């Protein structure tokens, strides 16, 4: 007799329900969110027949946390049920729309009892692959946070300090450059910036890590900062300066966090067995390759075929047909992090791969917009990536884009 487990998780406690194949409730219990509670849960599962040979499948509405890590030990399958799907199943069991934590645990257990075949368990990724996932996502979040703070500083400078934007906005890196942040910290207001001497500017540039062209850059900054610009009243300008200094402290921390996480991500990614295959693809470097690996994982059985990976990424179109109506469009439900990395990958591959560039241009000639052509290119690259990972092969330009290269050569001649 098969047993199914459902867990309704919360911040401080979790409700557990165990049912059999007939849907009869065998046990229910509330456990605490600590080591003692996790041991109680494992003992409860073992009491009802859980073993390495016949583990009890578990349904829960999250895919992360210490509770999930405890459940994923051994061969046990853990199903992360989408909360929206769980709420739809709740209506099947009760028309009164009542809701309780023990009742939700029972609903989750019944999902496995009736529809386990249509739900996907958490992938059996290695610890090394999951470590890359943690670091790559943290680094991506740090980059987004850094960009958000940079946009806030840019908007603030537009209010009272246009000279700073003229001095640094056109440079590679913009306001995120260490020397730009050092100069702004030295002179947070236009009045102070106009009084900076060449020696002070050189010292600020050195504090920012600049090593070459210091004298020329200091002279350029002096001319820009002393140029004629509109000004706020002095008291308001000083208030804006205090706000800028506060934002710069957060900006410095965000930039440092992004750099540290990028280094840690690259180190962990290069040690992974799949790194060599991913880096063989055009447009994929250590950081972008780590993001792709973080989202697809390293479980070889996660996707039955390339179509599953494409649908997961959102690059494959979705069809809606009913009667005489037929619609083909882009997917709205997808892994947004993978799609974000995929667009960067597709764009950077245009210069690194003649076949990718020919494929993209052919799609544009057929009427696709830029985003649609990129999505189509990503769809093809993901199919090639799935094939290479399954067969442990490196990317081969001639095999990957034989048709595109042949058509482009024919058109050129």
The two tokens of residue 171 are 């440079």
Q: Residue 142 in 3-state DSSP? A: helix
**Per-residue tokens: 79:** 């199903």
The confidence score (pLDDT) of residue 91 equals 79
CB count, 10 Å around CB of 234? 10
Tell me the CB-side half-sphere exposure of residue 221, using CA atoms within 13 A: 30
Beta bridge partners of 14: 9, 31
Q: Phi/psi of residue 319, each to 5°?
A: -110, 135
Q: Dihedral angle at the C-alpha atoms of 237, 238, 242, 247, nearest 10 degrees?
A: 20
Determine contact, residues 60/108, Cβ cutoff 8 Å: yes
- Sites in the chain below the pLDDT cut of 50: 405, 409-410, 412-413
Predicted TM-score of the model (pTM): 0.86
Is the Cβ–Cβ distance between 124 and 116 less than 8 Å? Answer: no
Burial (Cβ within 10 Å: 0-12, 13-18, ≥19) of residue 320: exposed
pLDDT at 412: 46
Using DSSP, how many helices (H) and how many strands (E) does the chain show? 19, 7
DSSP lists the bridge partners of residue 29 as 16
CB-based contact 279:293 (threshold 8 Å): no
Cα gap 285→345, rounded to integer Å: 9
Q: Are 378 and 363 in contact (CB under 8 A)?
A: no
**Alpha-carbon separation of residue 75 from 51, 91, 117, 296 (angstroms):** 9, 32, 17, 20
d(CA 362, CA 368): 9
Burial class (CB in 10 A: 0-12, 13-18, 19+), 190: buried
Positive or negative: CA dihedral 371, 373, 376, 381: negative
Mean pLDDT score across all residues of the chain: 91
For residues 126 and 118, give the distance between their C-alpha atoms in angstroms, rounded to a whole number.
24
Q: Six-digit token pair at 275?
A: 């790194």
94, 150, 152, 241 from 155: Cα distances, Å? 52, 9, 5, 13
C-alpha of 397 from chain center: 27
Query: Within 13 A of 178's CA, how many CA atoms are on the CB side?
Result: 12
Residue 14 has a pLDDT of 94
Tokens of 185: 């910290």
Integer distance in angstroms from the first to the last C-alpha of the chain?
A: 70
Element containing residue 155 per DSSP (H, E): helix 127-160
| Closest C-alpha among 91, 67, 88, 77 to residue 119 | 77
Cα dist. 134→141, 295, 400 in Å?
Answer: 11, 10, 31
Which residues lie closer than 8 Å to 296 by C-beta, 6 or more apart? 302, 303, 309, 312, 338, 385
């Amino acid at each position: 007799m098969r047993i199914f487990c459902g867990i309704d998780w919360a911040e401080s406690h979790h409700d557990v329900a165990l049912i059999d194949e007939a849907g009869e409730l065998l046990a229910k219990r509330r456990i605490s969110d600590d080591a003692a509670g996790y041991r109680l849960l494992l003992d409860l599962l073992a009491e009802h027949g859980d073993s390495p040979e016949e583990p009890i499948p578990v349904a829960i509405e999250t895919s992360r946390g210490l509770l999930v890590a405890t459940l994923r030990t051994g061969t046990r399958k853990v199903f992360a049920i989408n909360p929206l799907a769980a709420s739809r199943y709740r209506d099947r069991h009760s028309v009164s729309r009542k809701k309780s934590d023990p009742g939700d645990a029972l609903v989750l257990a019944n999902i496995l009892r009736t529809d386990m075949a249509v739900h996907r368990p958490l992938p059996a990724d290695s610890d090394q692959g999951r470590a890359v996932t943690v670091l790559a996502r943290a680094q991506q979040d740090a980059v987004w946070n850094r960009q958000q703070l940079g946009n806030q500083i840019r908007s603030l400078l537009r209010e009272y300090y246009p000279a700073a934007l003229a001095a640094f906005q056109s440079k590679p890196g913009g306001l995120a450059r260490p020397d730009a942040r050092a100069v702004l910290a030295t002179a947070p207001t236009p009045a102070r910036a106009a009084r900076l001497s060449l020696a002070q500017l050189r010292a600020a540039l050195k504090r920012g890590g600049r090593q070459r062209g210091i004298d020329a850059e200091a002279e350029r900054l002096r001319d820009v900062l002393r140029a004629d610009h509109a000004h706020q009243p002095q008291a308001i300008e000083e208030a804006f300066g205090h706000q800028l200094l506060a934002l710069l402290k957060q900006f410095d921390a965000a930039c440092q966090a992004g750099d540290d996480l990028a280094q840690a991500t690259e180190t962990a990614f290069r040690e992974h067995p799949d790194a060599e295959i991913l880096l063989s693809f055009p447009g994929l470097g250590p950081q972008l390759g780590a993001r792709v690996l973080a989202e697809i994982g390293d479980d070889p059985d996660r996707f039955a075929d390339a179509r599953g990976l494409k649908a997961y990424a959102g690059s494959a179109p979705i069809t809606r047909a009913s009667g005489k109506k037929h619609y083909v469009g882009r997917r709205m439900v997808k892994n947004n992090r993978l799609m974000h990395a995929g667009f960067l990958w597709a764009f950077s591959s245009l210069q690194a791969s003649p076949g990718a560039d020919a494929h993209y241009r052919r799609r544009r000639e057929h009427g696709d917009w830029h985003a649609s052509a990129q999505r189509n290119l990503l769809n093809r690259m993901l199919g090639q990536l799935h094939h290479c990972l399954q067969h442990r092969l490196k990317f081969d330009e001639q095999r990957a884009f034989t048709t595109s290269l042949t058509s482009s050569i024919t058109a050129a001649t």
